[in-house]
Structure formats: C-alpha cells, structure tokens
Structure 1
Amino acid sequence: MSRISVIGTGLFDLMATGADWLGKQSRNAASSGFHTTQLLAGFLHGMNKNGAGALVRDRDALATDGTLSLQMTDALRTGQAHKMLQDMLDAIGARLEGKDD
C-alpha cells in the first residue's frame, strides 16, 4: 500500500464526521450519510482528473471570495490540517520503509 492511498481512508473519516454533524443539525441521521456521500461523489465525478494543478483549480473554482467553501479551506489552513496531513504521510512513508522507531 502506498502512503498516498491512505488519503482515501482519511477522506472517508472526514466525510463520516461531516455526515454525523449534518445528522445532528438536521435531526435526520438516516439520510445524512447518503446526502454527504452523494454530494462528494458529485464533486469527484465532475473534477478535471488530468494535468498538473487540476486539484488546485477545482478547489479554487469552489472556494471563491465570500463563499462558505473559502471559509472551510481557510479554516483547514489556519488549523494546520494540511501540515498534519503531510506529517502523517511522512510517518506512514517511514513506516513503510521500515524506518519507524
């Protein structure tokens, strides 16, 4: 298993947290998982999957000035979620290479 493949599991974990939050907010836990999954599946299906920078362009197309999407990406950066992800990928890489102590 490559270290990048574990990102999928991390995304599922974040999606589950979002679905749980939505279920509590909407008082409809039964459909929150379906709604969350369908929403993200739509985003993933519509993505440009070719070329360097495609992920950044797709993110930036959603996270424009004044949007809730920009508020989310800003919060992830401010909370250092990206650094934590990079650190974890480094740790997983070290484990795969037998360098974890």
Structure 2
Amino acid sequence: MGLIEGIVKRLEEYVAMCQLYKAIKRELGGRASLYASDFSLRRAFWWDGEWMGAPASCLIVAYEAFCQVGSAKLEFSVHYGEDGVYLEPKIPLYQDRIKVAHRGDGDA
C-alpha cells in the first residue's frame, strides 16, 4: 500500500469513527464519553438479527451493547468466548445469550 492509499484509509476510518461517535452520543446523551474511547470504537460493530421473535439492531461497544428490539431500547452485556461474541440481556427475567459473531479457527 502506498502513502496516499494509507492516508486515505486512515481518513476513512476516522470519518467512520466520527459517525459512530455521533450515533452513540445521540443514543446515550451524556454517557457517550464512557463508551466512545478511540480503543472501544475500533472494536465496535453493528449487529442486525432477531431476539425473541422481534427484529433487533445492536451497537456493540467493548462490553456493552445498545439494542433496538422491536420498539423497545434495551442494554445487553457483551461476553467474549473462545468461539464467538455473545450478548446477555441486563433484564433478570431473560438470561439466554445471543451469539452475534463467530470466531473462525481457519478450517472453514
């Protein structure tokens, strides 16, 4: 990769991180700085799927996940296992974990 391509890639990453920070700030308000460090934003990702029969869209940042499930907004804890990333609801009534990302072992 040449110098120009490297600079362009870093700028694209910066713009994406700024957009992600704005989304976090919009969702969390004053608590955004707790979750939006440079390190945590590099590990953040979106996950779209289903939870308990309702469509779910989640922003996963470090050890917290903020999800829109149907019309409700819920928080989840994030657990990193040997075989993937799991979400666990912070609601005591529901304790089933959701697998949102797989870790490949290279044998695929």
What interval of TM-score do these two structures reach, taking the shorter chain for normalisation? 0.3 to 0.5
TM-score, normalized by length of structure 2?
Answer: 0.32
Q: Which is bigger in relative contact order (C-alpha 8 A, separation at least 6)? A: 1
TM-score, normalized by length of structure 1?
Answer: 0.33
Return the structure number with greater helix share.
1
Return the structure number with greater strand share.
2
